[in-house]
A and B are shown apart, each in its own frame.
Chain A
């Protein structure tokens, strides 16, 4: 394959070109309620060609090898068009030339497990909620995605890397009359099939919550002091802060860039945030990004001060900051963009009980249910929560969405727990879907958060 790829880029009359070929094997097993809805494995493949010519940078994705000539012509035309229409030429930060084959060791390679065994395990977890009368349905899916990547650049890099993602996750839905509640349940990761085994407890726990939610009260919408559990605090870190550490979102947004200057004191002193894609065994793990840059841990916030940023080669040059190896594509249909790997709030020293005592009165909000940001404002949902009175957890509440201003909220984080947890299944939709987007945090306290009730 490398020879075919080298032959394609050797035909490029450009300052720089790279090409990535990938096969993507997807295995899906889906249950809707007790019915098996889908099962099967399929492999697709394609190419992404990128070119830098006279300061114009463009990319094209194509699926047929026979379209290579057409693709070369189009991408060069597009680069020329950009070059003619921009004032400041695009440059790439210098990176090490890498020749490597990296096939990570897995704890049970899912390729070696029969589809029957995958089906039985999924059926077993799906069956746990369905034993209960109040559960109206489930949507539980086994998903395995194996990307085999080949990367070649005109600078001489030649990299082979595999990314294997496995998970069993989905929704458990409870219903009482017209009231419908659902809870997400799931296990998964990037280091093999073994981590899916013996996870009955997760599905039992989430079933219990789905049933309890039928009796929970809707929260009253207003501002509260809150404790976020690691899942919620992780989504906050990803959505509200993490995206604005991605330099491509800032590059041409002068007003955001102004606020996100390195050295700016953005958060309270207790807040430290890092993105570390090479943390072993975590969902977001990779060695090289899709520009052939070696991934490296990047400290983003240190004692509340912005000290780093996630970069592509293009943005690292434009900002004059170090490369971080965070330019990643969903698959062969996309040119890479800047993504988080494993982003998390680094743990402090306080126990959960310390946090409850500090909060006194407020809400304890658990388990994220999707989030979104538009710069300084963010919104995300929680699956359930509890009212906290005088440091004690009281009744369950539902229909919780929180919203806030990034900068005010970072300043309002008053305590960070010592119990870091990273997520096992991801799904960040920044133009492309990143199923390995991993985030985490310990429990944290945030003061004065808007909670929208229904």
Chain B
């Protein structure tokens, strides 16, 4: 009997995988998954060009970082030029200010040590502000950006909506297509059918989103020289990649099981998805143990890099990024696995009462 169930489940998985991977309706899920990777890739192209440009400038106007850092607000333009020499580029702008209006001049002097671009903003011949530009991102900084993007966008939106799209369609989508009855006309126990559909959905989403995670890492690292990348990969890199890919899979398992059940119980699972999204979003503001009643809390706890509090994220969004107290890796994985199992078993039981009544759906 077990062999028969297994054969039937594989048949379900094969059918569902074909539908999921190659369906036209899956295109937006691929786009959701690929969006952050493409942004990191674009950033890496920009970063490489900037590195090359600054290195070229530095070879023509060699300056040390310590000398550049010695420039302070209050120095005159002559003192700056005396210390650093003429800038490799400068901007000039006139403006009128005061009563009666008087003419002022604002200069921006650009220097580089080959890695970072320094900008000195000079008003009426005196340095007022200092700035950094160009390819100023270091690998640790970019990893923090990745951590924020991963927790804010990838888990909460890309994986969430990707799983909602795929897993609710496994049952409810076929109800709407009026094609679910073909499954129910075969001698396959409904819990086996549900399990097969879940495994297919999980496989599809896990492949799509964990591949996207790996791709994001590749795109992120592409902007750095091979020595920097090698050093990082030897130290933490592989662990980070494996951890993030694992979290992506776990997120697919957890959200997938919830959305599969939603597709079974609700005529419009989008309402459940919206409520869950709302709960997951406001969860960070909820005090105490209620926080732990969300998927994203455990997923964030498992992330190897905490999203930084000092990145340029609006304060309102910043509260969403980091959980107040993280749970351990084992607890996080165990809770997610248990949640998935409970939701799957519940779906299996619900499926026994499933009826084909397309006109009512």
B and A form one assembly: no
